[in-house]
A = this chain, B = another copy of it.
């Protein structure tokens, strides 16, 4: 099993052996956490950049009335913001959605990597820009699509991102989300999410049980979603 970060960065540009070694070394020093743990809370100023090596996480915000908005999903190979140090405090939290393995990279170490490994630095910037592009696409998703297309779009995106890091097995991906969390992601209630997913199931598009999403008809799902993967800026497939 290859390092997900290497796989991801390699889908943007070639890396030298030295670069790959460094990334492997970083990913080797992980800590395990339980699902539900917060890596960073709103209001904190973190000391490390976190790299997710295994499992899922999410960025989220809780509003005063208790409602929650999920702002991003992190999957293996994803980092919380590289430049996190510049801001005085976090304006959102990052929490684990499944049991996970996480590498912590100190500010100094991060700086050293950026200085000494220009290829990695460039690839990490690319990853940052892609994160932003994903955020923009989520906004489009919420603003312009109905519930059915919205969920389809999210599934298409997560499928591609998982594929990028080598985590698609057959037509299945690990998707450790409750329907309520799905709803908090795309601005729908869990009840409505449930009905839409049932419809997708009955139409033979997907299965979703045991935290496993199976896409039976990817082509049709993409069509429903109006999915155009260009925003993920995947350059060459590994």
Q: Give the residues in chain B near A140, CB-CB below 8 Å.
A: 61, 63, 69, 71
User: Does A65 touch B at the CB level, under 8 Å?
Assistant: yes
Q: Give the residues in chain B near A16, CB-CB below 8 Å.
A: none
User: Does A169 touch B at the CB level, under 8 Å?
Assistant: no
8 A Cβ contacts from A117-170 to B? 122, 125-126, 128-129, 132-133, 135-140, 142-144
Q: Give the residues in chain B near A144, CB-CB below 8 Å.
A: 63, 67, 69, 187
Contacting residue for A136 out of B65, B71, B128, B133, CB 8 A: B71
A196 CB, min distance to chain B CBs, angstroms: 16
User: Does A109 touch B at the CB level, under 8 Å?
Assistant: no
Nearest residue (CB) in B for A138 is B139
Give A144 to B67 CA distance when docked, in angstroms.
Answer: 7
Give A86 to B132 CA distance when docked, in angstroms.
Answer: 13
User: Does A59 touch B at the CB level, under 8 Å?
Assistant: yes
Total identical chains = 2
Q: Give the residues in chain B near A186, CB-CB below 8 Å.
A: 143
In this complex, the interface size class of chain A, counting residues with CB under 8 Å from chain B, is 35 or more
8 A Cβ contacts from A184-238 to B? 184-187, 226, 228, 230-231, 233, 235
A151 CB, min distance to chain B CBs, angstroms: 14
A80 CB, min distance to chain B CBs, angstroms: 12
User: Does A7 touch B at the CB level, under 8 Å?
Assistant: no
Give A92 to B233 CA distance when docked, in angstroms.
Answer: 12
Give A50 to B122 CA distance when docked, in angstroms.
Answer: 21
A63-B144, A88-B233, A135-B139 given; 16 more Cβ-contact pairs under 8 Å? A59-B136, A61-B136, A63-B226, A65-B226, A69-B139, A69-B140, A71-B139, A81-B132, A83-B128, A86-B129, A91-B136, A91-B230, A135-B136, A139-B139, A142-B142, A144-B187
Q: Could you list 22 A-B pairs, sorted by A, with CB under 8 Å? A: A63-B140, A63-B144, A64-B228, A71-B136, A71-B140, A81-B129, A86-B125, A86-B126, A87-B126, A87-B129, A87-B233, A88-B235, A91-B136, A132-B132, A132-B135, A135-B135, A135-B136, A138-B139, A139-B139, A142-B142, A142-B143, A143-B185
